[in-house]
Amino acid sequence: MSEKSPYSTPAVKTIARQLTPTFFWNIFQRRFGHAPEGNAGTNGNTGKERRSDFYDAMYLQTEDYCRHYTHSRYYFLWCVILDRMRPTEVRALLDIGCGPGQFASLLRDRGLQKYVGIDFSDVCIRMARLACTSAQFECSDVFSSDLFDTLDYDVAVATEFLEHIEGDLVILGRIRPGTRVYGSVPNFPDPSHVRYFNSVEDVYARYSSSFESFQVDELLFGSEGMSFFLFEGIRCSK
């Protein structure tokens, strides 16, 4: 028996569409088989880079970002990173595109002592500071912030961030050589995704030249073919 969407009736679907931010509506639709496929092919372009006010509105409207981290859709992804990272052995972690403090709270509870998150959404940073008071959060543009040079970090994280910006390779290039990096990118389109990836090979082709000991794994997200590609490696000097 096929799974029935909770938005199956026309009236409910119309109301839900009006109340649901675009990002989550696209995921929900794709989850139940109704979303358009978007552009196929390596690094398919499906959306455009958005300004901070787009994300300010998203954080204000979306309840998921106010929940405990164990109820986040990204919890399973964070747990995989934690299993590989060993937070208690990290000197300092730089979280690029940090979000509203859920991942920071999880890292705190797993023993991480020094965390600095950066994001250009003022709403996001205010939420993060309330959610995890022991961590440091900076509202700043990642392309101009001096944190990449002034912070004494040995691990950097960029989960579900690089697909939102044109200059993803520029940002990876700003990370200090010798830093262990954990990142993730999706295999599905969205109006705020500049690109998405169809395979492990696509991710490797785009990012491997920035790293040593680079590896990519595909993590399934739901039952409709959606995935996150988790990569890690040591930032190289070239």
Paired residues of 94 in beta bridges? 116, 156
What confidence tens digit (pLDDT) does each residue in 30-79 have?
A: 333 333 333 333 454 569 999 999 999 999 999 999 999 999 999 999 99
Answer with the residue of higher pLDDT: 150 or 11: 150
Distance CA 99, CA 196 (A): 20
CA 198 to chain centre: 17
**Would the pTM count as exceeding 0.85?**
no
Task: Considering only CA atoms, give the Rg of the chain.
Answer: 18
Burial class (CB in 10 A: 0-12, 13-18, 19+), 98: buried
Per cent of the chain over pLDDT 70 is 81
String of DSSP letters for 11-64: HHHHHHHHHS-HHHHHHHHHHTT-S-----STT---S----HHHHHHHHHH-GG
Domain ranges of the chain: 52-235
- Phi then psi dihedrals of residue 90, to 5 deg: -85, 130
pLDDT of 139 reads: 98
Quick check: 4 pLDDT over 50?
A: no
CATH class of 52-235: alpha beta
SS3 95: strand
Per cent of the chain over pLDDT 90 is 79
70-89 in b/e form (b: 16+ CB < 10 A) is eebebeebbeebbeebebee
Pairing of strands 227-235, 211-220: antiparallel
pLDDT of 224 reads: 85
Q: How many CB atoms lie within 10 A of CB 192?
A: 19
Answer with the residue of higher pLDDT: 18 or 198: 198
What confidence tens digit (pLDDT) does each residue in 128-152 have?
A: 999 999 999 999 999 999 999 999 9
pLDDT of 181 reads: 98
Supply the mean pLDDT for the chain: 85
What confidence tens digit (pLDDT) does each residue in 163-205 have?
A: 999 999 999 999 999 999 999 999 999 999 999 999 999 999 9
